Structure 1
């Protein structure tokens, strides 16, 4: 067993441990889940990565970990540690960044799951290994991996339409493209002998991404681009409103200090000043 294969198993173990903690502790779950407002306004950029180790439920976790194991077996056996980590975390972050842009006006949007990273691993495997087949568990049936890839895309599009849970379906497509492109950059020679599966996967992904961005009404997606015709209360609006309110409170407190001195301040007023000083450093 190579170091990269051991690393892939450690990543699976980390997913199981972190997800289990999230199942048991809602505060832990909420702190590390991907939330648009927390990333943009509060600059909690760690959520772009930590959300990838949380899952909605056991079914979500098990499906992702089985998919990750099946595809990592081949990929980890061929790639160096750095290349594997680049594909895994590059896909995870790219998928969440795509969701961040897509849902910029949806401050309450949140998602969790390793699906973005798994998508990147799956599509990197399809790009790097021509003729790669997938067998069904307990059944003597195998089919080309690119067919699984297409099914994965369709499932993601269905998930985007339904929007029935906190699974980041939008991230799947962005992460899949990122994973495949990173793999091609690492091994550009695959374009010469494995172009068919690559094109079969990349073209639908790019088409659906274009539809999501430019024509989201076809998928019933509310996002930054679709809501241009109407005024909505964005994260920037909320941030600016909070900033104005804070400034008014600070001005009132400073006026009170000017008239009555520092000792006249209440505990709450001192906390407001302290909070304001931290934001202006």
Structure 2
């Protein structure tokens, strides 16, 4: 992997500074976290600021590690400014979907860069759908069997699992923010690199399938 771009380093640093401030300052954390009631009262800044807070150092590390893994691929594909559009657009898309799905739960709260990072991941997949991804701590091959998974299959599989998790609601993970972030990554990447629609039309449309399924399920009351 090539060296991290300075934009990525700055984002990781800002996330770390903001998060560690929140770890040690309860009032700061409460003021800037995502909270449906506060947002509906007019504190819209929380939809952005919450993406720079984390609950624990482990939570922070996992999100920043994901950003570390996929940022360069997106920067190579859409440039530094385009990457920032994807990152912040995905962050806000994740917050908007969370607000949409939890608008009647005024006590709903969330923090974390997961929406932005998921958007960066989905952007990387849209840019290179045929690239193979390998699981950490597992071998790349077993004998003649390649254990890599093509990006578009990984993206569709993850999104379908996220829909299942959103429907089941059996954990405290903000799956709706993840899904919203992926929508942002998909949409903004295609806006920035519209040639993908002609270069990889079939796969690009397949990557939109989980998005269509989510909103059909919501519309029909199945979610």
- 2:143: which partner in 1? none
Matches within 5 A, 1:205-244: 205-215=211-221, 218-219=222-223
Shift of 1:119: 1.6
Asked if 1:171 is matched to 2:177, the reply is yes
- 1:193: which partner in 2? 199
For residues 77-100 of structure 1, the C-alpha deviation after alignment (integer angstroms, 9 at most, x for no partner) is: 333222111111011111211221
**Does the residue aligned with 2:5 lie in a helix, a strand or coil?**
helix
Give the Cα–Cα distance (whole angstroms) in 1 for the partners of residues 153 and 54 of structure 2: 26
Say whether the 8 Å CA contact 1:5–1:77 is kept in structure 2. no
- 1:266: which partner in 2? none
Say whether the 8 Å CA contact 1:113–1:168 is kept in structure 2. no
- 1:128: which partner in 2? 127
In structure 2, relative to structure 1, the CA distance for the partners of 1:20 and 1:77 (3 Å cut) is same
Say whether the 8 Å CA contact 1:4–1:81 is kept in structure 2. no
Shift of 1:107: 0.8
TM-score by length of 1: 0.69
Give the Cα–Cα distance (whole angstroms) in 1 for the partners of residues 215 and 137 of structure 2: 35
- 1:22: which partner in 2? 22
**Does the residue aligned with 2:31 lie in a helix, a strand or coil?**
helix
- 2:107: which partner in 1? 108
- 1:59: which partner in 2? 58
Say whether the 8 Å CA contact 1:126–1:198 is kept in structure 2. no
Shift of 1:172: 1.6
Q: What's the C-alpha RMSD, in Å, of the aligned pairs? A: 2.4
Shift of 1:155: 4.2
Say whether the 8 Å CA contact 2:130–2:152 is kept in structure 1. no
In structure 2, relative to structure 1, the CA distance for the partners of 1:25 and 1:117 (3 Å cut) is same
Shift of 1:213: 4.7
Following TM superposition, the consecutive aligned residue runs of length 4 or more in structure 1 with deviations greater than 4 angstroms are 1-4
Give structure 1 stretches of 5+ with no counterpart. Answer: 220-281
* Greater C-alpha Rg: 1
Stretch of structure 1 that moved more, 78-87 or 180-189:
78-87
In structure 2, relative to structure 1, the CA distance for the partners of 1:151 and 1:61 (3 Å cut) is farther
**Does the residue aligned with 1:80 lie in a helix, a strand or coil?**
helix
Matches within 5 A, 1:261-280: none
